[in-house]
Amino acid sequence: MMLPPVDSSAILKLRQQILAQNVALRAPLDQGGVLPGAPGEQPRFGAALDTALRQVSAIQDQAGAAVTAYETGQSHDLASVMIARQKASLAFEATLQARNRLIGAYKDVMNLPL
């Protein structure tokens, strides 16, 4: 069974979209350090964490749906399946690293002498 050829222009277009999204996400931080939300208001930590975890979950759900579609024959685009899986893996790894740093910071604070 031969795999369809990889469309390099689609991959380059996806790369450009990711770079543009990165620039768009950094713009509010570069303009004074205020995250998107209500004007001049910092989001609460719990709400920001909840939003981030929901986004990671959505990315993992999309990857799972792409894998299922490929396995059932509804899709023949292996490249998009692999990209979706890699995005999910990176999102999970970033979440894991953030969790580890938060736990480390919590332990440091708890070990401070009074």
Give which of 54, 69, 62 is closest to 83, Cα–Cα: 62
Full residue range of the structural domain in which residue 73 is found: 45-114
Look at residue 22 and tell me if it is in a domain.
no
Look at residue 39 and tell me if it is in a domain.
no
Give which of 62, 59, 78 is closest to 70, Cα–Cα: 78
> Dihedral sign, CA of 49, 50, 55, 56?
positive
Residue 111 has pLDDT above 60, yes or no: yes
Look at residue 2 and tell me if it is in a domain.
no
What pLDDT, in 10s, does the model give residues 50-70? 888 999 999 999 999 999 999
CA distances from 48 to 37, 67, 70 (A): 10, 29, 33
How many angstroms separate the CA atoms of 3 and 8, rounded?
Answer: 14
Q: Higher pLDDT residue, 33 or 12?
A: 12
What pLDDT, in 10s, does the model give residues 23-48? 877 776 655 555 555 555 666 878 88
| Inter-axis angle of helices 45-71 and 78-110, nearest 10 | 150
Residue 73 has pLDDT above 80, yes or no: yes
pLDDT band at 75, cuts 50/70/90? Answer: confident
Q: How many domains does the chain divide into?
A: 1
